[in-house]
Amino acid sequence: MLRARISYHHNGTPQTFRYDNYWLSPLSFLGRALSLGMYKHGNGFRDHGDRIVIPNGSVRLFGLTPYSRFTNWCELNDLDWFIFGWDWRRRLEDTVSFFFNKFLPQFRCTVQQQCGVDPLQDFILMGHSMGGMLVSLMLHHQDPVLANISYAVTVASPFYGYDSQIHRWFTGESLLNKIGPIDVTQRMIKVITSLPGCYVLPFLDYETFLTNRLALQSDPDYPLNDYPCTDFANAGESIDPFSPGPNRYPTDTGFDLAELERGATTYKKIAAGPPAAYADKFFNIRGIQTRPKSTAGTISWRALTGPLNPHTSPVKRGPGWPGDGVQPAWSTRLVTLPSHHVVSVKGNIDHMFIMEDDQTHAAIARVL
């Protein structure tokens, strides 16, 4: 993502912007990530310091992206592709609105003018990780262009959440918490809590678990038998990350309970699965590492008794589960889908680079 070098003037004065790469670059780990926070403005959010941040293609570091081999595979198989860069910090519903109302009309017009064909006459939506949640939400959008969709495919997408986002609200991000010898964990936590898009990522709410309990327990390979969030002192007490009760989230870091409630509404729509019109076109691909229990799949949660100490988190990881190293296998499939709409990719799988794996390409080919 690129960040403007100067602030945006809200008085309508014409401006010309130049941008620097703030995410992802080596300088992201040397302090630039601290400038990616947001602040509330009316019913929405603006970028820290009013410096516009824009997504610019897929994440890239040292010239490498986690989609290079995937796009090569597409070309070898005569599949035209376009990577839609989106701002994962923002509310997912805002990105959906931008995608359909701004991006797609411009994209369609440009391709028609330059290639003489309609790219949306027959198309596929595919999303990796959080991008799969976005794809699921897109299918709930009322737009006639969706009548032309052939498939919607997700890869390693946390439909029932994962633990790492919960930890970040308490301990920041380990790769970004230090700038040289300086510990900036408290500042990093405040940045993370300011990002509305991340409030859809914790483990599933208890209502969704109860609604899908039998189906989650009936997964023949990777069942979820019990609710994954429990009280540290009483394992029989479930703690809903979207509504955990008092003294669970810190009050001195900017954590936004109102945004958590809004995130829950968005999350429930994602977890409910696609509308009936698209159910036959929706497929999930999930990764399973060779190591049988390589992924965190549960947490236990103490109540806070005072100000947050980011070096003594009240949230602890439970035993390992099968998964891709980040997402547990029970989370990366919608149990409302029939079993033949779920493909498990097993082996030397890594969540970040699963789209580069030959097995993933084969799984996509099976779906298409």
Q: Could you report the per-residue pLDDT of 105-118, keeping only the tens digit for each?
A: 999 999 999 999 99
Give the separation between CA 362 and CA 345, rounded to whole angstroms.
Answer: 9
Looking at 58-72, 159-173, 237-251, 267-281, which range is the least confident one? 58-72
Is-contact 70 357, C-beta < 8 A? no
Is-contact 360 155, C-beta < 8 A? yes
Burial label for 345, CB within 10 Å (0-12, 13-18, 19+), is: buried
Distances (CA, A) of 169 to 120, 165, 187, 199, 310: 39, 7, 11, 10, 9
Query: Which of 194, 156, 191 lies closest to 173, judged by CA?
Result: 191
Tokens read off for 64: 């490498």
Q: Is it the case that residue 12 has pLDDT exceeding 90?
A: no
The β-bridge relationship of strands 178-179 and 282-289 is: unpaired
Give the separation between CA 352 and CA 129, rounded to whole angstroms.
Answer: 8
Give pLDDT, residue 73. 97
Please give the single-letter amino acid code of residue 19: Y
Q: How confident is the model at residue 48 (pLDDT cuts 50, 70, 90)?
A: very high
Give pLDDT, residue 27. 87
Give pLDDT, residue 64. 76
Average pLDDT over residues 255-266: 97
Give pLDDT, residue 293. 86
Q: Is it the case that residue 62 has pLDDT exceeding 70?
A: no
Distances (CA, A) of 90 to 28, 93, 97: 19, 8, 12
CA dihedral 252, 258, 259, 265 (to 10 degrees): 150
Q: Is it the case that residue 364 has pLDDT exceeding 90?
A: yes
Across the chain, mean pLDDT equals 95
Question: What are the boundaries of each domain within the chain?
Answer: 1-54, 66-367
Give pLDDT, residue 26. 86
Q: How confident is the model at residue 291 (pLDDT cuts 50, 70, 90)?
A: confident
Q: How confident is the model at residue 60 (pLDDT cuts 50, 70, 90)?
A: confident
Q: Is it the case that residue 215 has pLDDT exceeding 80?
A: yes
Contacts of 327 (CB under 8 A, 6+ apart): 129, 156, 157, 158, 162, 286, 287, 295, 351
> pTM of the full predicted structure?
0.94
Orientation of helix 206-217 relative to helix 257-271, angle to 10°: 30
Phi, psi angle pair for 238, to nearest 5°: -80, 140
The DSSP-derived string for 80-92 is --------TTS-H
**Residue range 79-96, pLDDT digits in tens:** 999 999 999 999 999 999
Phi, psi angle pair for 353, to nearest 5°: -115, 20
3-state DSSP call for residue 157? coil
Q: How confident is the model at residue 63 (pLDDT cuts 50, 70, 90)?
A: confident
